[in-house]
Structure 1
Amino acid sequence: MSADRGDGARGGPEPASRAVTIAAVTAPFTRDLDECLAAISRLVDGARRRGVDLLVLPEGALGGYLRALPPRGDDLAPRGGPPALDPDGPEITRLAAIAGDMVVCAGYAERDGRYRYNSAVCVHGDGVLGRHRKVHQPLGESLAYEAGRSFTAFDSPLGRMGMMICYDKAFPESGRSLALAGADIIACLSAWPASRTHAADDIAADRWRHRFDLYDQVRALENQVVWVSSNQAGTFGSLRFVGNAKIVHPDGSVLASTGTGAGTAVATVDVTAALRAARSGLNHLRDRRGASYEKQCLLAGEPYDPRRAARPAAPRPTAEHGSRPSRPAGPAH
């Protein structure tokens, strides 16, 4: 695990090398949970044959994403959306069993009492390693889901990790809060569609495909982390997804990509060496001046406290389930 924490300063002996084989998936997923789990099992089996340690599946890998975004579609009503799953239910247990000795991240619709969340879970054969609820909601998605409230780094057999979902990556604070909490690998799970207002015949020329790729490279570079980006593929309802799952080096270079079609991008990264190389000159976490802008940015959603502006952010708890909004941001589900 990297010794960079908070301000990026190193402490103690240099960590050992960590060669990690990472796979990022572009694939279609539907409402049929059994079909989704069978597809995930095939993807895990194929990845295992390639020596993969970390497999990142898309947003909505268990049960699919919304069929449409406002103003069309009935997915904004509870009956039309993806099946809402218990975060500790049988589907998550089965996902962990499929993962075995591999670390697997997958998206799903989470049920927590009256609330529904667009969530991601990171599992291993031993159980759940980390969770995330999508914080930033585009185009009326708040009518289908409640918003998450934080970004939480967690420990895994591969080192310290973090997750976010789709539109979360459009906000620099998302990745930065995870990097400050010590995440060396960040997984971004997406169901990122092509432009609906300026559709391109060739999806490779689509402007939202360009933005999807740009965010991936910039977030990896500005935080100097290993970035793993997955996405849905094909068409679901009225949405056409841009694909382009990829692994990005901490220097912002793309190590492997699926392109616009379905597939699995695989790359082996020595995480310790990659972070060391990226941070050996300009170390963005070390050199940042939080006191100059934290008050305005309200990083990680916390009120500004000048006493903490000069010290590193502490790692956050591994679970987000204990918190929920005092009142729903949208209809209760």
Structure 2
Amino acid sequence: MSGIHTPIVAAVQMNCVLGDKTENLKKALFLIEDAVQQGAKLIVLPELFNTGYRVEERDPELAEPIPGPTTQWMSRLSQKHHVYLIGCILEKSVISGLVYDTAVVVGPHGLVGFYRKVHLWDTENTRFAKGEEFPVFDLGFARLGVQICYEIGFPEGSRILALNGADIVVYPSAFGQARRYAWDLATRSRALENGVFVIASNRTGIEKGETAFGGGSRIVNPQGMVLREALSEDEALVAEIDLSLVETQRRTIPYLRDLNKSIILKSLSNNPG
């Protein structure tokens, strides 16, 4: 039986139907309810789970405000099952023509907050506007940070989140099969160097006959140990996590304590790039 300090968490791994919100939400619902049946209280969905990833020619059409239809759909499910859901969607900006790649956090009482992807991958720089903040969300039983996909390779983001109190960092992703080696290493590294649990939810399948996603969704503990890893195309991967391990690991290898922040800040000010 899981408790407030040992919650059951889930990473949803799924293929998507490109541009078909109805079918994608139907599949996501099935996988969310599977995770709920396994006791999950925190469930992470992949990047752009409601539209698919390679919809670049339809970004403005498929983008939604926050709150909007998909956020409200997530909120109803969160309230019904008393869970927290994190899902990444195309966000329609209040500035006409701008679209963000945005992760939404909802809970039993509605919208908790959102995170806009800061570090954009390759052609995403022509699709999306960049986010500028690294919020940490207090869920009561844990403090949650969010990064998206490619950002698994940017240690600065997860370090900022950990220094601001995150116990768990989640990565909704559409990470490619061609760079799976980076995913395997970076998911464990981000957990170990910050003493956090990492929940990494990735896509599967192939889009437009050329973009193959790597799967390998996983839940990693603060020692960098993979607790569970998905093996199927569509799967709700769950694990019970012991949040007391965050403090234990940070005292065992005190990276956050020993980080000389003044030297880092001085170096950045001297080398602004």
Q: Write the distance in 2 (CA, Å) between the matches of 1:120 and 1:260.
A: 24
Q: Counterpart in 2 of 1:43? A: 31
Distance 1:102 1:290 in 2: 36
Deviates more, 1:95-104 or 1:288-297: 288-297
Shift of 1:254: 0.3
Q: How does 1:1-333 map to 2 (within 5 A)?
A: 18-30=5-17, 31-66=19-54, 75=56, 77=57, 79=58, 83-100=62-79, 101-113=82-94, 114=96, 115-195=98-178, 208-237=179-208, 238-259=210-231, 261-271=233-243, 273-297=244-268
Q: Separation in 2 of the partners of 1:194 and 1:150?
A: 29
Change (3 A) 1:119 1:46: same
SS at match of 2:262: helix
SS state at 1:232 partner: coil
Asked if 1 retains the 8 angstrom alpha-carbon contact of 2:196 and 2:222, the reply is yes
Per the alignment, in what secondary structure is the counterpart of residue 128 of structure 1?
strand
**What is the DSSP-based 3-state SS (H/G/I as helix, E as strand, rest coil) of the residue aligned with 1:233?**
coil
Say which is worse superposed, 210-219 or 288-297, in terms of deviation: 288-297
Q: Please give the per-residue CA displacement for 1:77-106, whole angstroms capped at 9, x wherever unaligned.
A: 4x3677101111122111111122111110
Tell me how far 1:167 sits from its aligned partner: 1.1
Give CA deviations for 1:30-60 in whole Å, capped at 9, x if unaligned.
Answer: 3211222222221121111100111111000
Contact 1:63 1:82 survives alignment (8 Å): no
The 8 Å contact of residues 81 and 144 in structure 1, kept in 2 or not, is answered as no
The code of the aligned residue for 1:40 comes to A
State the shift of 1:260 in Å: 6.5
Matching residue's letter, 1:29: C
What SS is found at the alignment partner of 1:293?
helix
- Alpha carbons of 1:62 and 1:82: their partners in 2 closer, same or farther (altered >3 Å)? farther
Report how far residue 25 of structure 1 moved. Answer: 1.5
Contact 1:37 1:95 in 2 (8 A): no
Higher helix residue share: 2
Q: Are residues 127 and 261 of structure 1, via their aligned partners in 2, closer, same or farther at CA, if it must alter by over 3 Å?
A: same
For residues 164 and 232 of structure 1, the distance between their equivalents in structure 2, rounded to whole angstroms, comes to 15
Q: Percent identity?
A: 32
Q: Write the letter of the residue equivalent to 2:12.
A: V
Which residue identity lines up with residue 213 of structure 2 in the other structure?
Answer: F
Structure of greater Rg = 1
In structure 1, C-alpha distance between the alignment counterparts of 2:226 and 2:166, rounded to whole Å: 19
- Shift in alpha-carbon separation, 1:219–1:297, aligned structure 2, 3 A: farther
Q: Identify unmatched segments of 5+ residues in structure 2.
A: none
CA contact (8 A) 1:245 1:264 kept: no
2-side partners of 1:85 and 1:256: how far apart? 33
Deviation at 1:297, TM superposition (A): 4.2
Deviations 1:134-182 (A, max 9, x none): 1111112111111111211111143210111011121111100110111
User: RMSD over aligned Cα, in angstroms?
Assistant: 1.8
| Amino acid paired to 1:44 | I
Conserved 8 A contact 2:216-2:229:
yes
Q: Which amino acid aligns with 1:58?
A: P
- Gaps (5+ residues) in structure 1? 1-15, 68-74, 196-207, 304-333
Compared CA separation, residues 289 and 269, structure 1 to 2 (3 A): same
Distance (whole Å) between structure 2 residues aligned to residue 266 and residue 91 of structure 1: 23
**How far is 1:23 from its partner?**
0.7
CA contact (8 A) 1:244 1:261 kept: no
Q: CA deviation at 1:130?
A: 2.4
SS at match of 2:129: coil
Looking at structure 1, the residues matched to 4 and 46 of structure 2 have their Cα atoms a distance apart, in angstroms, of 28
Structure 1 moving runs of 4+ over 2 Å? 79-82, 259-262, 295-298
User: Number of residue pairs matched?
Assistant: 262
Structure 1 Cα separation of the partners of residues 226 and 31 of structure 2:
22
Q: For the residues of structure 2 that align with 1:82 and 1:99, how far apart are their CA atoms?
A: 26
How far apart, in 2, do the equivalents of 1:265 and 1:138 lie?
26
